[in-house]
Amino acid sequence: MAPVKLLVVNASIQILVSSLIGFLLLVPMQPWGKNFLKNVRNVHDLRSTHLDWLMLAFMQYGAAFALMQLPITHPVLIAGLLVFGGWMNATPYLVRGIWGVNAFSLSGDAKQIFAASIGLISVLSILTAWSLIVIDALSHR
């Protein structure tokens, strides 16, 4: 799949998934749905996952626009990094909210270190992709 199409399709899927989570977050607010998310350890982290995936989707739309408008030398790499980062960057919230694992700290047991490492790698992926976009944009004036 072409990098721009990959980013647009992936961002659209992320918005769909985030919207489904948003719907699930509304269920417990209904009189008939009080116990719906009773096994979720922290609903606020689930809400953060929902919002993070929305923001990361819009970031991918922005990157798709940049790839169409700028002379980018590594569009496949950039798209891959952003797709990976777009899904994995919200996982620390998801892991902490559902399973109670503090995926924001590189300490603790193997599960915690693994989850935090995924979060760290996703941040580095996003930073690398945007750095490549900015470097290409500035070097081809």
Range of the domain at 22: 3-139
Counted domains in the chain: 1
**CA-to-CA dists, residue 36 to 40, 70, 86, 99, angstroms:** 9, 47, 27, 16
Torsion on CA atoms 103, 105, 110, 111, rounded to nearest 10: -10
102: left (phi over 0), alpha (psi -120 to 50) or beta: beta
Supply the pLDDT for residue 70. 92
- Over residues 33-64, the pLDDT tens digits come to 777 777 777 778 888 999 999 999 999 999 99
Per-residue pLDDT reduced to its tens digit, 3-26: 999 999 999 999 999 999 998 888
Per-residue model confidence (pLDDT) at position 141: 65
Instruction: Give 66-85 pLDDT, tens digit per residue.
Output: 999 999 999 999 999 999 99
pTM confidence score: 0.90
